[in-house]
A and B are shown apart, each in its own frame.
Chain A
Amino acid sequence: MPVYTTACPRNCYSTCGMRVHVEDGEIRRIEPHTGNRATPEGVCLKGLSYVERVRSPDRILEPLRRTATGSYTSIEWSEALDLIATHLLRIRAESGPQSILYYAASGTKGLLNGAGAEFWRLFGGCTTTYGDLCWPAGLEATRLTLGDNRNNAPWDIANARLIVLWGKNPAETNIHQMPFVQQAREAGATVVVIDPRRTETAESADLWLRPRPGTDGAIALAAANEIIRLGGVDDQFVRDHVLGYDEFEARVASLSPAWAAEIAEIPEVQVRELGRLLAEVRPATISAGFGMQRYTNSGQTMRAILALLAVTGNLGRPGAGWVYANLQSAIFDEVKDPLAFFPPERPDGVMRVSISTARLGHDMLAQRDPPLRMAWVERGNPVTQNPETNRVLEAFRALEFRVVVDQFLTDTAREADLVLPAKSMFEQTDVIGAYWHPYLQLRQKVIEPPGAVKPETEIYRLLAERLGIPDEAIANRIPGPTDEEVEAFLEERLARFDGLSLERLREGPVLPPDHEEVAFADLRFPTPSGRVELRSEEAQRRWGIDPLPLYHESLESTRGEHAGRRVGAPDDPYPLYLMTPNTKNRIHSQFGNLRMIRRLDPAPAVHIHPDDAERRGIADGTPVRVYNDRGELRLPARLDPGLKSGCVSVTNGWWISDGGTVNFCSAGRETDIGFGAAFHDNLVEVEPSV
Chain B
Amino acid sequence: MRGAFVFDPNRCTGCSACELACSIENQLGTDRSWRSVLSFNERGIPGVPVFHLSLACNHCETAACMEACPALAYERDPATGAVLIRQDACIGCRYCSWACPYGAPRFESDRGVMGKCTFCSHRLADGRKPACAALCPTGALDYETLDEDQLLAQIDGMPRTQLGPSIRILPLERRSTAGLTNAVTTGSGAGVPLDVTPHEPRIELAGEWSLAVFTLLLAVLFGLLAADTVGTRAVSPLLFATISALAAGLSLAHLGRPARAWRAVLGIRRSPVSREVLGFGLMASLGTLALSASEATVSAAAAWPGLAAGLVALVSADRVYGPVHHDGSPVLHSAGVLLTGLYLAGLMAGSAGMALLIGGGKLVRYVRRTRQAGVSGPGAAIRRLAVASRVGLGFVVPAAAWVIGGTPLTFWALVAAVLGEAIDRTEFYSELEIVSPARQQRLDLDERLAELPSSPPAPALIQS
A-side interface residues toward B, CB under 8 Å? Answer: 28-32, 39, 41-45, 47-49, 51-52, 171-172, 175-176, 178-179, 182, 190, 198, 200, 202-208, 210, 265-267, 269-270, 273, 277, 584, 594-596, 599-600, 609-611, 613-614, 619-621, 639-642, 644-645
Contacts and interface: CB of A to CB of B under 8 A. Distances in A.
B129 to A, nearest CB: 11
Given A172-B13, A273-B461, A645 B192 contact: no
Nearest to B184: A267
A627 B31 CA distance: 34
B194 A45 contact: no
Contacts of B194: 610, 620, 639, 641
B281 interface: no
B179 A611 contact: no
Interface in B43-60: 43-46, 49-51
A599 B195 CA distance: 20
B48 to A, nearest CB: 10
B186 A611 contact: yes
A29 B44 contact: no
A208 B189 contact: no
17 contacts: A29-B24, A42-B21, A42-B134, A172-B13, A175-B15, A179-B138, A198-B179, A200-B13, A204-B10, A204-B176, A205-B175, A270-B181, A584-B13, A610-B192, A639-B194, A641-B179, A644-B182
Contacts of B376: none
Interface-centre pick from B11, B174, B189 (highest chain A CB count, 10 A)? B189
B13 to A, nearest CB: 4
Contact of B138 (A30, A41, A205, A269): A41
A302 B422 CA distance: 70
A641 B45 contact: yes
Interface-centre pick from B13, B186, B189 (highest chain A CB count, 10 A)? B13
A325 B231 CA distance: 91
A41 B24 contact: no
Nearest to B14: A200
Contacts of B174: 203-204
Contacts of B20: 45, 48-49, 596
Contacts of A614: 189, 191-192
Interface in B178-212: 178-179, 181-182, 184-195
A596 B30 CA distance: 5
Contacts of B139: 41, 179
Closest 4 CB pairs of A and B: A610-B189, A595-B30, A642-B44, A42-B135
A584 B15 contact: yes
A178 B13 CA distance: 9
A335 to B, nearest CB: 34
Contacts, number: 172
Contact of A43 (B11, B23, B135, B190): B135
A44 B185 contact: no
A210 B17 contact: no
Contact of A206 (B135, B187, B463): B463
Contacts of A204: 10, 174-176, 178
A208 B182 contact: yes
A615 to B, nearest CB: 10
A267 B186 contact: no
Contacts of A644: 182, 186
Contact of A178 (B43, B138, B188, B463): B138
B13 A190 contact: no
Nearest to A264: B185
A265 B185 contact: yes
A269 B49 contact: no
B136 interface: yes
Contacts of B17: 42-45, 47-48
Nearest to A594: B30
A380 to B, nearest CB: 26
A41 B13 CA distance: 14
Contacts of A639: 43, 189, 192, 194
A202 B137 contact: no
A638 B290 CA distance: 64
B87 interface: no
Contacts of B15: 44-45, 171-172, 175, 584
A328 to B, nearest CB: 23
A245 B354 CA distance: 97
Contacts of B175: 204-206
B351 interface: no
B51 A619 contact: no
A394 B192 CA distance: 40
A33 to B, nearest CB: 12
Contacts of B51: 203
Contacts of B360: none
B137 A43 contact: yes
A619 B46 contact: no
B25 A29 contact: yes
A553 to B, nearest CB: 18
A607 to B, nearest CB: 10
B188 A641 contact: yes
A609 B23 CA distance: 36
A206 B49 CA distance: 13
A182 B137 contact: no
B30 A599 contact: yes
A673 B181 CA distance: 34
B128 to A, nearest CB: 10
B145 to A, nearest CB: 20
A610 B184 CA distance: 15
A613 B186 CA distance: 13
Given A32-B135, A265-B185, A595-B30, A207 B461 contact: yes
A202 B178 contact: yes
Nearest to A51: B24
A45 B54 CA distance: 14
Interface string B34-50: 00000000011110011
